[in-house]
Amino acid sequence: MDRNRVGVIIIQDDQIALIERVRNEESYYVIPGGGIEGSETSEQAAKREASEELGVEVRIGALYTSFQFNGEHFYFMAEIISGEFGNGTGSEYRSSSQKRGTYKAVWVPVAELNGLRIYPEEVISVLVTDARRKIAESDPETEKSHQLSWVGSMYPYLDEPTCTEVGNVSVGRFGGKTSAGQNKNEDGCLVWTGVDWEFAVLLDAHKTASSAALILDEVERYHSMLTNILKKKTQEAVSELREAVVGLFQNATFKQKCREVEGETACLIVVRKDKYLWWFSVGDCLLLLIHPELEALGESVQNHRSFYEWIGEVNTFDTIVPCYSTGTKELRKGDNLIFLTTDGLLECPHTNLHFLDQIVARMKGKSVKEDVQQLLKEVEGKGVRDSTTIVAWKINIVEDGVMPSDL
């Protein structure tokens, strides 16, 4: 039977309280915590664990994060109010078992977390990302050239088609025409790039942009965990993506936040790792893969526009069976164009862009950025009301793709 667990996050003077463990001559760290016993509340269990493992009495604060793995795991912020740190009296300190190893309460600088072996990774990744965000907020010169996170409520790009490059990725944004009645932009997007990978999120919200902003914030909280996955070998990275992304949306804390926002959003997450493309899709944003070999066989669309699916106030992950799709595709030898778009492009009046071969035809210029700009200018010229966001990039693959055995 699964057992629910709790942990305490105590940070003082930019240092975090951890348990250093040495077992079988290997050293690692864990966040203080343990299983919930009997009729305890999660807060009561957190207080008890702090006393047993650290030797201190704490005041329990807000729930910091939670996740599911063989039961629910809850991690609370906490503040020491009395006791002597390092004088824990739990059973782990009384055991002389070589199998269990040794336990020691220690303070570790938050700035050093990313270089240490610490569990659970789901919590540490959030802590590292939050620490990076604080550094970036305090130092405006922090390097951000290959990352972008934007939601239409920040800046709507009404009557203002624009295209930005993030590394090798082109991001086109157009909020729609005010003369057609548009007064807001509820799209959003995020782009990260690495040595042999790109990670992109595309969002199309309605009612308000708050659901899109929530997802961007949540993805950024898991920046360290996701990028660490993408740094792994290709087979391992691609195999771990689905569990990591779906787990993010199944997180109990995230689902509670969804209940508190206004509106909901379609969500498309696309990752290129080496010669493979992986995606996660809820709703009606679209992913195209453009390559001559695929085009010759009439293939470009990789996912499908799935209606009545959202994340947010109305949340597919709050149903008994969440509805979403994922997929994996081998890229072909030569230039592959990866193209994500919201429905504003597809549903623009007085154009033929609902025929996807027309989008493919318009993306054959010398520059991805220029082609995206031309698409946005075209929909602007047609007086489109709905917003359009496009994320597109080209990647060259030098290896041969799989071919049928009879060729």
27: its two tokens: 């050293």
Other Cβ atoms closer than 10 A to 8 = 26
pLDDT interval class at 147 (50, 70, 90): confident
The rounded distance, in Å, linking the Cα atoms of 368 and 349 is 24
37: its two tokens: 């016993």
Nearest to 218 by CA among 258, 277, 186, 171: 258
The 10s digit of each residue's pLDDT in 8-47 is: 999 998 899 999 988 877 888 999 999 999 899 999 999 9
Between the alpha carbon of residue 83 and those of residues 19, 56, 58, the distances in Å are 17, 4, 9
What is the rounded average pLDDT of the residues 85-99? 72
Check whether 140 has a pLDDT greater than 80.
no
Q: What is the pLDDT of residue 137?
A: 54
* Dihedral pair phi/psi, residue 220, rounded to 5°: -65, -30
The 10s digit of each residue's pLDDT in 297-336 is: 999 999 999 999 999 999 999 999 999 999 999 999 999 9
Task: Please measure the distance between the N-terminal and C-terminal CA atoms of the chain and give it in whole angstroms.
Answer: 53
DSSP string, 46-105: HHHHHHHHHSEEEEEEEEEEEEESSSEEEEEEEEEEEE-TT---SHHHH---TTT-EEEE
Between CA 396 and CA 249, with CA 238 as vertex, the angle to 5 degrees is: 120
Q: What is the pLDDT of residue 136?
A: 55
179: its two tokens: 């003369």
Are 75 and 66 within 8 A, CB to CB? yes
Q: What is the pLDDT of residue 65?
A: 86
Q: What is the pLDDT of residue 99?
A: 64
Question: Widest CA span of the chain, in angstroms?
Answer: 77
* Dihedral pair phi/psi, residue 340, rounded to 5°: -115, 140
Between CA 220 and CA 224, with CA 221 as vertex, the angle to 5 degrees is: 85
CB proximity list for 200: less than 8 A, separation 6 or greater: 169, 189, 190, 191, 192, 269, 270, 271, 340, 391
Nearest to 341 by CA among 152, 200, 150, 158: 200
What is the rounded average pLDDT of the residues 173-195? 93
Q: What is the pLDDT of residue 229?
A: 94
Mean pLDDT (the chain) is 90
276: its two tokens: 């493979």
Q: Which amino acid is at 103?
A: Y
**Nearest 10 degrees: CA dihedral of 156, 193, 131, 23?**
150
- b/e sequence 100-120, b meaning 16+ C-beta within 10 Å: ebebebeeeebeebbeeebeb
Check whether 161 has a pLDDT greater than 60.
yes
Check whether 144 has a pLDDT greater than 70.
no
The rounded distance, in Å, linking the Cα atoms of 65 and 217 is 13
Nearest to 68 by CA among 255, 218, 261, 241: 255
Domains and CATH numbers, the chain: 5-123 (3.90.79.10), 143-397 (3.60.40.10)
Between the alpha carbon of residue 170 and those of residues 163, 190, 318, 390, the distances in Å are 7, 12, 34, 8
